[in-house]
Chain A
């Protein structure tokens, strides 16, 4: 019974996401195949991982867990059900003062069960005018700890306009999700240069051409 509700809720969420955004996946340099990956994406809206989750083929979806803030997803019973049961999220406590578990340990142990992850290395939602905030170190630590897992950059376009911060009703706009070539691993690379390279790789996936609204969020 619970499984049915999980399945149903998952489908309601993806159908709604498609209705509002007609989201399209662009696999540009990587294929949608069952391989263990850490998808790292830009974060400008609460719906970001829902959109990635929606465009993943169902088989991959089942094996892909978003990494999300427990403070948000454990706040109400409904959010808890969606976060834990439907998305099977790895819920981390972003507050170093209150947390009882080390987020990096949680992420690594999730990877060691064979799951793929969705991660937002900016650490928080980007509401600034710049396309990307500086990455936090987490992705570098993951890269060092599990060098055999592919790090796939994912650019989410337009979702921040669908539901700007503080608004409760989404407006329908077309969105795309672009998956790029996995990040190359360079032996002995410094933390700074790795993070800069990761940021640049992700930014390079932004759709080309004039977008009159890109800076106008």
Chain B
């Protein structure tokens, strides 16, 4: 077993331990409050814990399967997220071919370019070429009603669900001197820190939250939860410096940056849900909301994390 694998397994054991504790707490809370009927907060907590078990399992399998496993996993996550997003955008019959192209050409192409390590193209493929190609496909159908709204929302869907999300597997292809073969741990670092930040904001908010940050957006986001969650997640990220190419101080700065980006991501995606009058993005994780509900923060922080790491640590 090499160092990467043993570090990864150590991390996995740590997460597994946390999840076991969380599951037990969830179970005890459920039993304790069972007399008063189902409690929404506890149900929600248990649903989240179950989703993390699933996420951890999938990630573990994909990581062990290597680069291709990770690429395929995130391509599928993009597909599922895009399916949820496009369900909520303005569409008309004339958009059929553009939507089909987004799913069956743009999405596979983006992940193939990352796999092929064509950095110069994958970094602009969606912002430039899909941006120009899809409206061209749409305009040929001749339906101009809500045209700008339709093409803009489609582009937004692709940027969030495919372009931003694809920065996670792209971390595998960074060339960091002295960190060769260990890039998968960057993904683990990003996801663990950002997801823990979500959890810790949620739980600190539930325990200590008094002042809402954006009452019109999300009743569960409070200043207390925000400060507590971000601080704790940054501390945990700092403690994980040993799996990264960063020093503890650098790990702290990056953790802070990605948790802040993740927080903003959660807010933005909530605003979209509010606008469209839905509570959850979908129902992928049986009754526990959709893919986007769980991945919004990771999607927002991934490009930032990718570019900071690339700029300061990558050789190319």
Contact = CB atoms under 8 A, between A and B. Distances in A.
Interface of A: 22, 24, 158, 161, 164, 167, 169, 171-174, 209-210, 212-213, 216-217
B283 A22 contact: yes
A168 B79 CA distance: 20
A208 to B, nearest CB: 10
Contacts of B82: 172
A174 B282 contact: yes
B103 A213 contact: no
B148 interface: no
Interface stretch (B88-96, B179-187, B222-230, B234-242): B88-96
Interface string B164-191: 0000000000000000000000000000
Contacts of A210: 276-277
Contact of A22 (B93, B99, B103, B282): B282
Contact of A172 (B86, B93, B278, B284): B86
Nearest to B149: A212
Contacts, number: 45
A212 B153 CA distance: 13
B80 interface: yes
Contact of B278 (A158, A169, A173, A209): A209
Where chain A touches its partner, the secondary structure class is: loop
Contacts of A22: 80, 83, 282-284
B103 A24 contact: no
A164 B276 contact: no
Contacts of B93: 164, 216-217
Contact of B86 (A24, A164, A171): A171
Contacts of B99: 171
18 contacts: A22-B80, A158-B87, A164-B96, A167-B96, A171-B86, A171-B103, A172-B83, A172-B103, A173-B86, A173-B87, A174-B84, A174-B282, A210-B276, A210-B277, A212-B90, A216-B90, A216-B91, A216-B92
B283 A174 contact: yes
A216 B90 CA distance: 9
A212 to B, nearest CB: 6
Contacts of A161: 91
A171 B79 CA distance: 11
B87 A171 contact: no
Contacts of A167: 96
B118 interface: no
A125 B82 CA distance: 28
Contacts of B91: 161, 213, 216
